[in-house]
């Protein structure tokens, strides 16, 4: 399955910006670690971001993240660190979540592995969220929590609904970003199933990627698998509706389909963040799916785009 990655950019007084990203690197393990051409692309993608969530890491030898950090810090002018979850999953199949973050911009206040032990509903999630509480002193929202999720496609309805229980468990932190590969569309989450997903039906949660979006690469598939959901007034008030566009990096970089299957398609959401006493600070959301790789900064050049969706 081909997936998306998610980018959220928060700018402040200067030309600097805070870019929060999510990237399902599809079976990210030893085979990709040993291919320099793939690692070079992944490093370039991460280096555009201040926070990058990586999903579908398959690294039983615990070699991938240290190797990636070394490559990233060798490429970037500013150093990164990372935090990584334990190996998560049922039986022998395991994945990890990892967050790479730029030290100049943010720090990690606390990590929390959601236990998924709710009485009567134990083990509802295939890969329990690895929750990160970030401090971001230069942005309007000084602290926020990122809750990642990579669902099992056939269990997407149950697992997306379970995010509401994750929210109840960690709700003392009011600015949330739920993001990741939710498999939230087409055959995995049919229209009739949305009424059973609490995160969708409570008005305090805002879904930024609409059901008509396509976050896949194949021409024969049009599915909004990957999503970003916001909670908390400071984040929700930053969002301008109906502003999604998709950047086709296959065209922008003249890549073959075989090459783009190793990387991702950006969807960008241009947002404006306002608060009394502050100037208008642009907040930009980019979603990278499996067929493009164009990155936007606060000061943009003209980019190759596809039509937007909500």
**How crowded is residue 274: how many other Cβ atoms within 10 Å of its Cβ?**
12
What pLDDT is stored for residue 45 in this prediction? 82
Helix, coil or strand: residue 66? helix
List Cβ neighbours of 14 (8 Å cut-off, separation of 6 or more): none
Residue 69 corresponds to which tokens in the numbers above? Answer: 């950090």
Q: What share of the chain is helix, strand, coil (3-state, %, to 5)?
A: 20, 30, 45
- The candidate with the shortest Cα–Cα distance to 205, out of 189, 191, 216, 194, is 194
Contact by Cβ (8 Å): 53, 22: yes
Min mean pLDDT across 119-128, 159-168, 251-260 is at 251-260
Known catalytic residue at 95: yes
Distance of alpha carbon 230 from alpha carbon 210, whole angstroms: 13
Return the pLDDT at 217: 65
Contact call for residues 105 and 139 (beta carbons, < 8 A): no
pLDDT digits (tens, 9 = 90+) for 138-157: 776 788 889 999 999 899 99
pLDDT score, position 290: 32
248 near 291, Cβ under 8 Å?
yes
List the end-to-end C-alpha distance of the chain, in Å, as a whole number.
22
In the structure, what pLDDT confidence band is assigned to residue 237 with cuts at 50, 70 and 90? low
Q: Which of 56, 95, 128, 162 is catalytic?
A: 95
- State pLDDT tens for residues 171-180: 866 678 888 8
pLDDT bucket at 285, cuts 50 / 70 / 90: very low
Q: What is the pLDDT at residue 309? A: 57
Average pLDDT of the chain, as a whole number: 74
Name beta bridge partners: 99: 53, 83
Residue 119 has pLDDT above 90, yes or no: no
What would the mean pLDDT of 107-130 be, rounded to a whole number?
A: 88
Each residue of 18-36: pLDDT tens digit? 778 778 888 888 888 988 8
The catalytic position among 56, 128, 150, 162 is: 150
The region that residue 123 occupies, defined by phi over 0 for left and psi between -120 and 50 for alpha, beta otherwise, is: left
């Amino acid at each position: 399955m081909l997936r998306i990655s998610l980018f959220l950019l928060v700018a402040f007084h200067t030309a600097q910006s805070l870019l929060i990203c999510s990237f399902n690197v599809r079976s990210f393990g030893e085979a990709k670690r040993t291919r320099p051409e793939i690692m070079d692309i992944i490093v370039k993608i991460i280096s555009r971001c201040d926070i990058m969530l990586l999903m579908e890491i398959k690294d039983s030898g615990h070699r991938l993240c240290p190797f990636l950090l070394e490559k990233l810090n060798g490429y970037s002018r500013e150093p990164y660190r990372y935090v990584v979850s334990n190996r998560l999953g049922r039986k022998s199949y395991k994945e990890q979540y990892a967050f790479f973050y730029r030290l100049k911009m943010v720090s990690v206040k606390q990590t929390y592995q959601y236990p998924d032990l709710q009485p009567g509903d134990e083990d509802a999630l295939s890969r329990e969220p690895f929750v990160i509480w970030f401090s971001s002193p230069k942005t309007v929202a000084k602290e926020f929590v990122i809750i990642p999720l990579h669902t099992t496609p056939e269990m997407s309805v149950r697992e997306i609904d379970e995010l509401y229980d994750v929210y109840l468990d960690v709700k003392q932190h009011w600015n949330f970003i739920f993001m990741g590969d939710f498999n939230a569309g087409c055959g995995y989450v049919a229209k009739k199933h949305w009424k059973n997903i609490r995160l969708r039906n409570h008005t305090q949660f805002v879904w930024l990627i609409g059901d008509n979006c396509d976050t896949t690469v194949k021409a024969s598939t049009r599915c909004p698998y990957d999503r970003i959901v916001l909670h908390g007034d400071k984040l929700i008030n930053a969002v301008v509706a109906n502003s999604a566009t998709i950047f086709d990096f296959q065209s922008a970089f003249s890549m073959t389909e075989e090459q783009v299957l190793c990387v991702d398609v950006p969807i960008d959401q241009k947002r404006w963040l306002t608060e009394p006493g502050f100037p208008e600070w642009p907040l930009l959301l980019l979603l990278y799916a499996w067929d493009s790789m164009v990155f936007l900064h606060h000061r943009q050049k003209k980019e190759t785009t596809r039509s937007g969706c909500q």
